[in-house]
């Protein structure tokens, strides 16, 4: 792979282009734009270098810990963790902060909606193109005459619900695959989805029979998990600010760290 960027130098420390190319495999990018993965990899390695340099400047000694049973940190990982533990001081999150978030975004704190839905599942099989063609033909028949849904489910669906006209009963978040849930969330009651929904199981023809939208949960019910989330967000903001300060004081060539 021909490097898309030159070597990167961070306070005199060389990060070779070949190393950036290897790291780029861990950074997804839109198809046809490998340069974005390259830049993300270069920034990640430059930030890592900055953090390790700062750990060395502070005289930290790696205290390697077990992250999973039988799995230890590397010395570099331990030094970065210790540095961030020492240097990052996030702002305290108050109950007033939590109540402000709760009041500003009530829809984030709803109980899961309940749905009554039916579907016809056309499995992928060995030929996904043929399966899609089959599913589209069945969907066209359903849209032309919705009263045929039950019979078409019995004749074509690969789901055991076909014996009940494709009806799945009452379902909620986590009961179906994400693609199915996403489709239900934007459908109207009584609607047959006019497009096929593809999941790992195949192509779904979906009808939403009823929806019971979840109620907004009381603040007391969400306070604890909201506190955890806001504390993580505060730590992330503080860690980004710390890295930004290191980057501003560093001599870096070959990459810009403003989007690190």
Which ranges of the chain does DSSP label H, i.e. alpha helix?
17-23, 34-57, 75-87, 95-104, 128-144, 149-156, 178-186, 219-249
Which pLDDT score, from 0 to 100, does residue 252 have?
94
How much is the pLDDT for 171?
Answer: 94
120 and 207, same domain (yes or no):
yes
Is 66 within 8 Å of 37 (Cβ atoms)? no
User: What pLDDT is recorded for position 141?
Assistant: 97
What was the pLDDT predicted at 35? 81
Q: How many CA atoms lie within 13 A of 17 on its CB side?
A: 9
- DSSP E strand stretches across 144-213: 167-171, 197-199, 202-212
Find tokens 């760290």 and name the residue.
Answer: 257
Report the distance separating Cα 7 and Cα 3, nearest Å. 9
| CATH at 138 | 3.10.50.40
Q: Is residue 62 part of a domain?
A: yes
Output b/e per residue, 85-113; b: 16+ Cβ within 10 A.
Answer: eebbebeebeeeebeebbeeeeeebeeeb
pLDDT score for 258: 65
CA distances to 5, 8, 46, 259 from 19, in Å:
12, 10, 11, 20
Tell whether the torsion through CA atoms of 31, 33, 38 and 39 is positive or negative. Answer: negative
Q: What is the pLDDT along the chain (260 residues), one digit of tens a residue?
A: 444 467 899 999 999 999 998 998 898 877 777 788 889 999 999 999 999 999 999 999 999 999 889 899 999 999 999 999 999 999 999 999 999 999 999 889 989 899 999 999 999 988 999 999 999 999 999 999 999 999 999 999 999 999 999 999 999 988 999 999 999 999 999 999 999 999 999 999 999 999 998 899 999 999 999 999 999 999 999 999 999 999 999 999 998 886 44
In-domain check, residue 125: yes
The domain containing residue 147 runs over which residues?
Answer: 112-212
What is residue 125's predicted lDDT score, i.e. its pLDDT?
86
Domain count, the chain: 2
| pTM of the predicted model over 0.75 | no
238 plus 200 within the same structural domain: no
**Residues 133 and 174 occupy one common structural domain:** yes
- Cα(240)–Cα(236) distance, integer angstroms: 6
């Amino acid at each position: 792979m021909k490097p898309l960027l030159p070597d990167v130098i961070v306070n005199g420390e060389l990060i070779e282009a070949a190393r950036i190319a290897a790291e780029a495999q861990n950074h997804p990018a839109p198809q046809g734009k490998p340069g974005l993965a390259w830049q993300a990899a270069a920034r990640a390695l430059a930030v890592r270098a900055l953090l390790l340099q700062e750990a060395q400047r502070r005289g930290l000694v790696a205290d390697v810990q077990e992250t999973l049973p039988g799995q230890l940190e590397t010395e570099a990982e331990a030094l970065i963790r210790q540095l961030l533990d020492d240097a990052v001081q996030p702002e305290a999150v108050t109950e007033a902060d939590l109540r402000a978030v709760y009041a500003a975004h009530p829809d984030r704190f709803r109980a899961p909606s309940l749905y009554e839905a039916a579907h016809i599942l056309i499995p992928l099989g060995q030929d996904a193109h043929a399966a899609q063609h089959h599913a589209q033909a069945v969907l066209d028949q359903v849209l032309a005459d919705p009263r045929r849904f039950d019979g078409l489910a019995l004749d074509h669906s690969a789901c055991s619900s076909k014996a009940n006209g494709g009806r799945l009963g009452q379902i909620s978040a986590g009961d179906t695959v994400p693609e199915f849930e996403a489709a239900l969330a934007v459908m109207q009651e009584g609607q047959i989805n006019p497009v096929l929904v593809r999941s790992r199981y195949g192509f779904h023809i979906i009808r939403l029979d009823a929806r019971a939208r979840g109620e907004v949960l009381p603040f007391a019910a969400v306070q604890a998990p909201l506190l955890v989330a806001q504390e993580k967000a505060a730590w992330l903001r503080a860690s980004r600010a710390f890295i930004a300060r290191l980057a501003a004081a560093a001599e870096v060539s070959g990459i810009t760290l403003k989007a690190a």
